[in-house]
Amino acid sequence: MIRYALVCDQGHEFEGWFSASGDYDGQAASGLLCCPICASAAVRKQIMAPAIASTASRAAVATPAKMQAMMMEAMGRVRRHVENNFDYVGDAFAAEARSIHEGRSEERGIYGEASSVEVKALVADGVPVAPLPPASPKRTEVN
């Protein structure tokens, strides 16, 4: 795997992992890359120093359990960001997303609930939607 430091035209920095060095170029040329923060498709690689494997870094290879913990933490951060910065619209999500997309409501970030039928209709009509990562279980719910 190859890790690239990426940045969008809005200055949001993030990283991308690719199977081979040509994968970034192919995905960028096809318009498949976008910023996870603002969805901008104007993404480019940042200058970064090459990673040189040392004995210490080889010992720090992430195990599947560490990778899962890292992914769960990242998904939790995404969910908290949405909950803290977007408007909750409940089960009116599909109607409000469509209204924003068509310019009948003010443009803003929203989240809420929608049925799979509603989501499929939004996607078919070009309304940008994405599932929200699940909430972490409450400590009282964990054994």
Tens digit of each residue's pLDDT (9 = 90 or more) over 52-94: 666 655 556 678 888 888 888 888 889 999 999 999 999 999 9
The pLDDT of residue 103 is above 60 = yes
Per-residue pLDDT at 140: 67
Write out the DSSP string of 58-101.
HHTPPPHHHHHHHHHHHHHHHHHHHHHHSEEEETTHHHHHHHHH
Whose CA is closest to 14, among 66, 78, 99? 78
Per-residue pLDDT at 102: 96
Distances in Å between the Cα of 117 and the Cα atoms of 79, 97, 113, 114, 122 are 23, 14, 12, 8, 9
Per-residue pLDDT at 6: 92
pLDDT bucket at 21, cuts 50 / 70 / 90: confident
In the chain, % of residues over pLDDT 70: 86
CA dist., res. 58 & res. 50, Å (int): 15
